[in-house]
């Protein structure tokens, strides 16, 4: 395994690119990240790679899966991006192309195969070699959080009839549901601009209801993992957009698990974890400092509201408003902005303005501090075509 520390440079579509950013919020700490990979179903047409990224700082284990259905390109493309992420702590296990044979054929189910996402019965051995191999990865790493990325036709409206797109289905615990809700809100505020395309949240259906045998259901029921099944719609939506939605949702869902260091500037985020998983007291260890204080929530509202995907033009001014931020048990006493993507927060004020003189993709971050000194961050992407 090789230790690496990388800074992500955003893709340059034109000259004069200014934006740069890091995926992980590592504060001042020097986290090192090591990367490893291995294959399952080796030597068969189902052979696929499991990517394992470990941070030097211990923390939760997150597993992200894509390509369970081979024609859901957004799912496996997003998972491939996740596999390359730097993390601030813990372990990130990714299987981007869970059903590689189906991906190869660009079909939901590989020729002669079965629907992989029906082969994980609760309380029983998975039903196919491939499902057993994937479940073996779950048993090996025992993830605290499992996320499965999918696409669907249609928009979910409470039943499966019209499709299940634009939905985050979560395991039943309060933490999973509130994390899913927060991720959906964040996406809807920052990345969904079309009417009717907002993400909704629903808990997993009960084990007596079809469909059964889903990977995320088994992970939640058999291992107590927090689990999410994320569905983006493929209706009239470009691949780039689907990938962005699925990637940003994953980022939001795992931000506190593996993208935020327990020390450094964003340690206050840990306060959210306090009483969540009573079954697993180990996770609470980092939170001692904030025991008496609920961490604030950072939220950026932009004007115009749609700033992604090249929505902005050179010379546009964007207003950044931090007033949707909140603190449940006190008040926010400081708003700081990083508008040049260098990782330090140099501008203060509840609002900030940016005039974008060059094209490219800018990442703006907000850090809020509550009256007890706990912090939280949010970010917005400003994309100038």
* Sites of contact with Zn ion (CB under 5 A): 69, 72, 150
| Rounded Cα gap, residues 74 and 234, in angstroms | 9
The three-class DSSP label of residue 147 is strand
- Report the length, in residues, of the chain: 385
| Residue 218 or 372 with smaller CB distance to Zn ion | 218
Minimum distance from CB of 107 to Zn ion (Å)?
Answer: 12
| Residue 69 or 372 with smaller CB distance to Zn ion | 69
| Preceding amide of 220 cis, omega within 30 | no
Distances (CA, A) of 210 to 36, 155, 204, 214, 243: 37, 19, 11, 10, 27
DSSP label at residue 264: G
**Which residues does residue 334 pair with via DSSP β-bridges, in sequence order?**
369
Minimum distance from CB of 236 to Zn ion (Å)?
Answer: 18
Minimum distance from CB of 131 to Zn ion (Å)?
Answer: 15
Looking from the CA of 347 toward its CB, the CA atoms found within 13 Å total 16
| Rounded Cα gap, residues 337 and 351, in angstroms | 9
Strands 167-170 and 200-203: parallel
| Residue 150 or 221 with smaller CB distance to Zn ion | 150
| Residue 164 or 201 with smaller CB distance to Zn ion | 164
List the one residue out of 68, 66, 67, 64 whose CA is nearest residue 93: 64
Minimum distance from CB of 229 to Zn ion (Å)?
Answer: 9
Minimum distance from CB of 68 to Zn ion (Å)?
Answer: 6
| Rounded Cα gap, residues 215 and 126, in angstroms | 9
Strands 332-338 and 360-370: antiparallel
Minimum distance from CB of 72 to Zn ion (Å)?
Answer: 5
**Dmax over Cα atoms in the chain, in whole Å?**
61
Minimum distance from CB of 239 to Zn ion (Å)?
Answer: 15
Minimum distance from CB of 151 to Zn ion (Å)?
Answer: 6
| Residue 65 or 184 with smaller CB distance to Zn ion | 65
Q: How many angstroms from the chain centroid is the CA of residue 70?
A: 21
| Residue 150 or 363 with smaller CB distance to Zn ion | 150
| Rounded Cα gap, residues 287 and 110, in angstroms | 46
| Residue 218 or 299 with smaller CB distance to Zn ion | 218
| Preceding amide of 158 cis, omega within 30 | no
| Residue 211 or 373 with smaller CB distance to Zn ion | 211
């Amino acid at each position: 395994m090789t230790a690496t520390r990388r800074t992500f440079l955003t893709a340059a579509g034109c000259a004069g690119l200014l934006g740069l950013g890091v995926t992980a919020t590592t504060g001042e700490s020097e986290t090192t990240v090591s990367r490893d990979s291995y294959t399952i179903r080796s030597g068969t047409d189902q052979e696929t790679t499991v990517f394992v990224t470990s941070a030097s700082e211990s923390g939760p284990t997150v597993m992200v899966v894509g390509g369970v259905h081979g024609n859901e390109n957004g799912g496996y493309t997003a998972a491939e991006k996740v596999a390359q992420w730097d993390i601030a702590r813990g372990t990130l296990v990714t299987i981007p192309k869970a059903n590689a044979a189906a991906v190869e054929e660009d079909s939901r189910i590989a020729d002669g195969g079965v629907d992989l996402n029906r082969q994980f019965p609760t309380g029983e051995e998975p039903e196919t070699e491939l499902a057993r191999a994937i479940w073996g990865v779950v048993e090996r790493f025992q993830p605290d959080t499992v996320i499965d990325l999918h696409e669907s036709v249609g928009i979910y409206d409470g039943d499966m009839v019209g499709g299940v797109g634009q939905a985050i289905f979560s395991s039943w615990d309060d933490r999973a549901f509130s994390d899913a809700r927060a991720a959906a809100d964040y996406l809807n505020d920052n990345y969904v601009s079309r009417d009717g395309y907002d993400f909704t949240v629903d808990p997993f259906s009960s084990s007596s209801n079809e469909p059964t045998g889903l990977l995320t259901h088994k992970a939640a029921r058999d291992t107590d993992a927090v689990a999410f099944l994320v569905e983006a719609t493929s209706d009239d939506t470009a691949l780039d957009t689907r990938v962005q939605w699925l990637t940003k949702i994953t980022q939001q869902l795992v931000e506190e698990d593996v993208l935020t260091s327990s020390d450094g500037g964003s340690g206050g985020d840990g306060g959210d974890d306090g009483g969540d998983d009573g079954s697993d007291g180990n996770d609470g260890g980092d939170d001692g400092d904030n025991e008496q204080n609920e961490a604030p929530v950072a939220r950026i509202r932009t004007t115009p509201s749609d700033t992604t995907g090249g929505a902005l033009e050179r010379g546009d001014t964007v207003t950044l408003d931090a007033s949707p931020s909140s603190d449940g048990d006190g008040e926010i006493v400081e708003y700081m902005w990083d508008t040049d993507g260098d990782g330090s927060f140099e501008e203060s004020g509840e609002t900030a303005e940016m005039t974008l003189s060059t094209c490219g993709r800018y990442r703006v971050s907000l850090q809020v501090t509550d009256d007890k000194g706990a912090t939280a961050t949010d970010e917005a992407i400003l994309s100038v075509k």
